[in-house]
Amino acid sequence: DDALSLAMELSCGLPYSCQVVGKYAALLALSQKRRVITVADVAEAMKQVDEHFFLVSAIGSRTGL
């Protein structure tokens, strides 16, 4: 529950942002063969999410999206 609350708070309630945070947190947990996503997973996922949104923004600016 704490990890979910943190993911929603960090994504500012935006569905796509929450989906991306959840994806990276889930991949991290799975890579460590765990079935539970922790607050630490969400915090670590945010580093990758920042890079994800930076790349999406860069691609959008080059394509005019």
- 6-28 pLDDT, tens digit per residue, is 888 887 777 888 888 899 999 99
pLDDT of 65 above 60 = no
In three-state form (DSSP H/G/I as H, E/B as E, the rest C), the secondary structure along 8-59 is HHHCCCCHHHHHHHHHHHHHHHHHCCCCCCCHHHHHHHHHHHHHHHHHHHHH
Q: What is the pLDDT of residue 36?
A: 96
With contact defined as beta carbons under 8 Å apart, do 37 and 26 qualify?
Answer: yes
